[in-house]
């Protein structure tokens, strides 16, 4: 899901850059690119996958 959001952010950044427009003073193509990179990094880190890999109970082998 984060990768899809990153792709949308990159697409909006590309459109804003090609048309040389802004969405206000604070939202520019550079801002959307930074948001896209953050979302890609979170996706690659495994955030939002729903799977938990931590096992707090250790099984003893006997």
What does each of the 62 residues of the chain score in pLDDT, given as a tens digit? 888 999 999 999 999 889 988 888 888 889 999 999 999 999 999 887 776 656 656 666 66
Q: What is the pLDDT of residue 39?
A: 93
**At 55, which helix (H) or strand (E)?**
none
Alpha-carbon span 9 to 4, nearest angstrom: 9
Q: What is the pLDDT of residue 47?
A: 87
Angle at 42 between CA 41 and CA 45, to 5 degrees: 85
Is the pTM here over 0.85, yes or no? no
């Amino acid at each position: 899901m984060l990768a899809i959001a990153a792709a949308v952010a990159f697409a909006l950044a590309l459109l804003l850059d090609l048309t040389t427009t802004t969405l206000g003073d604070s939202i520019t193509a550079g801002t959307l690119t930074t948001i896209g990179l953050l979302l890609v990094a979170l996706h690659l880190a495994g955030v939002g996958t729903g799977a938990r890999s931590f096992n707090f109970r250790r099984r003893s082998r006997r």
